Structure 1
């Protein structure tokens, strides 16, 4: 919803200012220029990115247009980790086998749909709990393994953002391509009426305008928005990593959760008392 509001402000301001300057909307409607610029941009994205990244771009844009990760996302992660760690404390890590192998049908995981929407986070939790269950690890070894995994995950999650940003950087160039082709068309009509030549030149200039506007008003903001989603997801992953390392160190469940809580940015970080109330229900 915030992304939609942003686009309304961007395009409303640009078009509103143009109309205030006595511009005519009909002059901006140049379907041929749009086809050249948007088509070239999409084609370049298809050439330079694998299908996995292209699908991920669509998924991330849908998230930006929806709620994305809500304020309760980290609360749900903390509550889930509390249940998992308490199960380990009371019954041993082997008790989690069914939950780890089939999180989609797990009574514990199903309580937290906001966590389940992130396949990356669910896989991170289950894979590392499975690794911990397979053999005893000290916290230094686990921390080193998790650090490498988090670095790789962040690079992978940022690929859609980087793809959008690269395309955004190219948009002014595609606008120039459309403008040059517009000038070619104008030169073909150089012997015609002066009014016609003026219309053709204006249409060519619209191509440059569209390219620059799409670059800085659409593609770059979407790329930044996707990067913002990744940062939120990485915070949850880093928090989970800190909790797992603290658990292996032998810390009590609440202290292990507190180690993860401290990773969160201030706008998402609950106090220790708030966190304790969330997870214990007291």
Structure 2
């Protein structure tokens, strides 16, 4: 919702100021300019990125328009990790086999849809628990393995936002392309009425305006928002990694959870007593 509000403010301010300056909205309606600019942008996106990244761009945009990550997401992660670690403490890690091998059928994961529906985080937890169950490993080895995996995951998750940012950087250039073509059309009508020439020049200038607006009012903010989503997702992954490392170190369950809690940013981080209350209720 915040993203939608931001777009309303951007376009409302631009059009509102234009109307206050006695501008006519009809003059801004130049479909040919829009087709040139947006078509070139989409084509550049298709040329420079695999289909996997393009699909993820659409997914990320849908996520930006939704609720996004909240404290409930991290609370659910703390609670699910508590349940998993308690099974390890009481019965050993082999008792997690059913949950690890079939997360969709796990009663633990199904109680926390925020985690069950987060494919990257769910795979990260189950894959690393599976690795831990395969043999004894010290916390240094696990920490090193997790560091490499987290770095790779972050690079992969950032690909859609980087692609969107690159297109955003090119939008003013595409606006100039549309404006130049508009001037070419104007020159073709140079012998016509002055009114017609004025309309053609105005249409060409709309191309420059639209390209710059799309760059700094749409594409760049979307790219930044998508990167912000990745940071929040990585915070959850780093949180899970810290908990797993603390568990391998032999720390009690609550202290292992506390290691993960400390990874959270201030607006999402519960106090130790709040976290203790969450898991106690669970």
Is residue 155 of structure 1 aligned with residue 160 of structure 2? no
Shift of 1:117: 2.2
Shift of 1:71: 2.3
Matched with 1:270 is 270
Matched with 1:97 is 97
Q: C-alpha separation between the residues in 2 aligned to 1:118 and 1:223?
A: 21
User: 3-state DSSP class of the match of 2:245?
Assistant: helix
Q: C-alpha separation between the residues in 2 aligned to 1:209 and 1:23?
A: 14
Matched with 1:21 is 21
Shift of 1:109: 0.3
Q: C-alpha separation between the residues in 2 aligned to 1:69 and 1:267?
A: 11
* Conservation of the 8 A alpha-carbon contact between 2:70 and 2:268: no
Matched with 1:227 is 227
Moved segments of 4+, more than 2 Å = none
Matched with 2:183 is 183
Matched with 1:82 is 82
- Where structure 1 has 5 or more consecutive residues not aligned to the other structure, the ranges are none
User: 3-state DSSP class of the match of 2:71?
Assistant: coil
Is residue 108 of structure 1 aligned with residue 86 of structure 2? no
* Conservation of the 8 A alpha-carbon contact between 2:168 and 2:219: yes
Matched with 1:50 is 50
Is residue 30 of structure 1 aligned with residue 30 of structure 2? yes
Shift of 1:69: 1.6
Shift of 1:92: 0.7
Q: C-alpha separation between the residues in 2 aligned to 1:280 and 1:179?
A: 64
Q: C-alpha separation between the residues in 1 aligned to 2:236 and 2:19?
A: 46
Shift of 1:70: 2.5
Cα RMSD of the aligned pairs, angstroms, is: 0.7
Matched with 2:124 is 124
Q: C-alpha separation between the residues in 2 aligned to 1:273 and 1:281?
A: 12
Shift of 1:116: 1.7
Q: C-alpha separation between the residues in 2 aligned to 1:117 and 1:4?
A: 24
Q: C-alpha separation between the residues in 2 aligned to 1:95 and 1:53?
A: 37
- Kindly provide the CA deviation profile for residues 206-247 of structure 1, in whole angstroms up to 9, marking residues without a partner as x: 000000000000000000110111011000000000000000
Matched with 1:202 is 202
Matched with 2:215 is 215
